[in-house]
Structure 1
Amino acid sequence: MILQPVIAPFLAILLVLPVLAGAVWMLVRAVRARGTGPAVWVLRVLLVLACGVLLLRPGVPGGQVRTLASATDVVIAVDTTASMVAEDWNGTHPRMDGVRQDVRGIVAAYPGARFALITFDATPVLRLPLTTDSTALVSAVDVLQPEVTRQSKGSSIGIANQLVAQTLQNAQKSSPDRARLVFYLGDGEQTVSTNPESFADAKKHASGGGVLGYGTAQGGPMRETTGALGDASGSDAGGGDYIQYQGSDALSRIDEKNLQQFASELGVKYQHRSATQKAVFPPAPKSTTAYRENDPLTQPTDLSWIAALVVVLLLCLEIARAAMLVVRMRGLSVRPEPAASPKQEGGEA
């Protein structure tokens, strides 16, 4: 028997044990009273026990599943400069909301692939080396925060070019038979006087991917990123005040020319992203995608559905009993009073 708890086991015990103790106590009292109550409380004790089993999700080993494996390495480079908190995604939401949405889309598009995450502002950082743990990638992006505004001194949007190329090159050396895709996610806004670095070196080791651009030509205001927990985690994040420029809110605007240049250097397509359109990702090469037939993943067979059926059955019995009691009480309330006898009427006369 294998347990796969829905919540922590000690929490399940804390939830179930007091209710179970109360139900058992009422059962003992009903037995001592020698009425019709014991049968009802026996069912209620079983109901509590079934709920506890459901929380623990029992199973047995031996189940097998076929999984789709993609022999593809996906390198994702995400812009984390201060402009990525500009509020022009889906109206007034930060651009990072769009990045998080599209990273989930990339994960869904390449099941079984290995993913690497690179972020860049003043310096590029390899946040997550190549791994098949897509949950770790999504979690890393969910907590991703742009650079602290007061520490920002301007940065180049191409500063991650060498790290991207090196990551792709290392992947090629370790697994030359795997496909390699690279995705660049940013707004293209260059905040230093130099031209962006080229991604031409990365093209030598990549077989596809895409450049995704965020922002609008009208621009969006930016809140100060303070580095506190919650900054840039959503439109209601507890960030600082809006950044000011010449007495009004500073606006960050997308630079699609730079992003299109990156797409050309990488040999991939550019997409301007908006909340109203779904991103389109290139398919992984068919030669690298297949079901694992000879090496199925062993999964426990979930038996919690049995406990769920017991819970539903016992709840139906409780509902039926409650309905009968309601009907009986309504019958008593509308029952007519007996008519007065003639003797009583004469006496009253």
Structure 2
Amino acid sequence: MTFLPVAPWPLLLVLLVAVLAAIWWNPSSRTVPGESRATHWRLTAAALLLGLAAVRPAVPGEQVDTTAANLNVYFVVDTTSSIIAEDYGDERPRIEGVAADIAAIADALPGARYSVVTFDQDARVRLPLTTDTTALDAAVETLLPESYEVSRGSSVTQAKDRLTSLLEQAAARAPERGRVVYYLGDGEQTAAEPPAPFDVAKGLVNGGAVLGYGTTEGGRMKATRSRFDSSRSYIKDPSTGEDARSVISEDTLRAIAGQLGLPYLHRESGDSIDPAVAGIDLERFGTSEQIERQKVLARRELYWPLLIGVAGIAAWEIGAAATALLQTRRRKEAGP
């Protein structure tokens, strides 16, 4: 039997103990009446069943085939204020297009290992390499731009050193795995100096693409005061007092693509992801039977019968409470 708890074990244990204490603790009396004691035992059983369900017990199930790409996929994502400019699709933030394309690429390259690197004033690894697409989805869903109030301008090649380090480590540890890079941004350089070249040693990047978002007309950007606080007002251009507009720089993005040896693709709402993954050489990195067809042992989850038991106890308690209420009303109506 295996377990995949929905929260850390210590936290679940503390919560269970707290619930049991709340059920049984009675400061006014050391004894519990018979009917009340039965209720206490039913609530105790419900708490124990719910606690056991929270650790998600399972037994091994049947073996299934799954396809696995022998690739490390790095998503380098622009998280400057311009990434929420509202000129993607029907005036939606560009970050929605970024998130949609990352999900589509992951679907097109199942079984690969994914990493997310973001950049604004600094470059950060938001997600280390993992095959867990749920973790990838969570990382992408929580992508937010830096606060415009503290922004000092950023370079479109800010992530070069961090990405290079990751690629070099991966090449040393697993040289047989392909290393694919997707750069997702709008190419808007807001630092005072020109961007440094995005030069990565030849051979470290085996495929990918530079994906551009935005329009030449530009889009307005909601003011973001912190990573978790977006207002309804828009960033103002201090020189005009009007709403600032971010404009895509496709020339800059094409230059980055040329430096990485990757194709450049402008992305719009509804575009197929096929052109972005078409150039990846799966025959080179993922064609062996041992890599492409893996036997995966499925899990037979056992938490649902436990939850049925909790629901049954809850139904019993609701019925008992309704019966007691009905009896109380009848006694009041009968009078003395």
TM norm structure 2: 0.67
Measure how far apart 1:167 and its partner are. Answer: 3.8
Judging changes above 3 Å, is the alpha-carbon distance between structure 1 residues 189 and 143 closer, same or farther for their aligned structure 2 residues?
closer
* 2:239 alignment partner in structure 1: 245
Tell whether the 8 Å contact from 2:80 to 2:145 is kept in structure 1 after alignment. no
Tell whether the 8 Å contact from 2:187 to 2:249 is kept in structure 1 after alignment. yes
Structure 1 residues 1-349: aligned runs within 5 Å: 5-6=5-6, 8=11, 9-19=13-23, 28-29=32-33, 31=34, 38=35, 42=38, 45-46=41-42, 48-57=44-53, 63=60, 69-89=68-88, 94-122=93-121, 125=123, 127=125, 131-132=129-130, 134=132, 142=142, 145-146=145-146, 149-153=149-153, 155=155, 157-161=156-160, 164-165=163-164, 167-191=166-190, 201=200, 204-223=203-222, 225-226=224-225, 228-231=226-229, 236-237=230-231, 242-263=236-257, 266-268=261-263, 270-274=265-269, 279-280=273-274, 282=277, 285=282, 286-287=286-287, 289-293=291-295, 302-315=301-314
Q: Whole-Å Cα distance in 2 between the matches of residues 154 and 317 of structure 1?
A: 61
Q: Whole-Å Cα distance in 1 between the matches of residues 218 and 160 of structure 2?
A: 26
Aligned residues, how many? Answer: 314
Tell whether the 8 Å contact from 1:20 to 1:49 is kept in structure 2 after alignment. no
Tell whether the 8 Å contact from 2:215 to 2:248 is kept in structure 1 after alignment. yes
Tell whether the 8 Å contact from 1:184 to 1:212 is kept in structure 2 after alignment. yes
- The CA deviation string for residues 240-274 of structure 1, in whole angstroms up to 9 with x for no partner, is 85443312111111223433454455333514143
Tell whether the 8 Å contact from 2:23 to 2:40 is kept in structure 1 after alignment. no
Judging changes above 3 Å, is the alpha-carbon distance between structure 1 residues 249 and 60 closer, same or farther for their aligned structure 2 residues?
closer
Q: Whole-Å Cα distance in 2 between the matches of residues 78 and 18 of structure 1?
A: 47
Measure how far apart 1:72 and its partner are. Answer: 0.7
CA RMSD of the aligned region, Å?
4.8
Q: Whole-Å Cα distance in 2 between the matches of residues 245 and 279 of structure 1?
A: 39
Q: Partner amino acid for 1:146?
A: E
Judging changes above 3 Å, is the alpha-carbon distance between structure 1 residues 229 and 121 closer, same or farther for their aligned structure 2 residues?
closer
Q: Whole-Å Cα distance in 1 between the matches of residues 273 and 44 of structure 2?
A: 47
Measure how far apart 1:219 and its partner are. Answer: 1.7
Flag the structure with larger Rg.
1
Structure 2 gap segments, 5+ residues each? 329-336
Measure how far apart 1:2 and its partner are. Answer: 6.7
Tell whether the 8 Å contact from 2:210 to 2:253 is kept in structure 1 after alignment. yes
Measure how far apart 1:178 and its partner are. Answer: 1.1
Q: Whole-Å Cα distance in 1 between the matches of residues 84 and 264 of structure 2?
A: 24
TM norm structure 1: 0.65
Tell whether the 8 Å contact from 1:68 to 1:292 is kept in structure 2 after alignment. yes
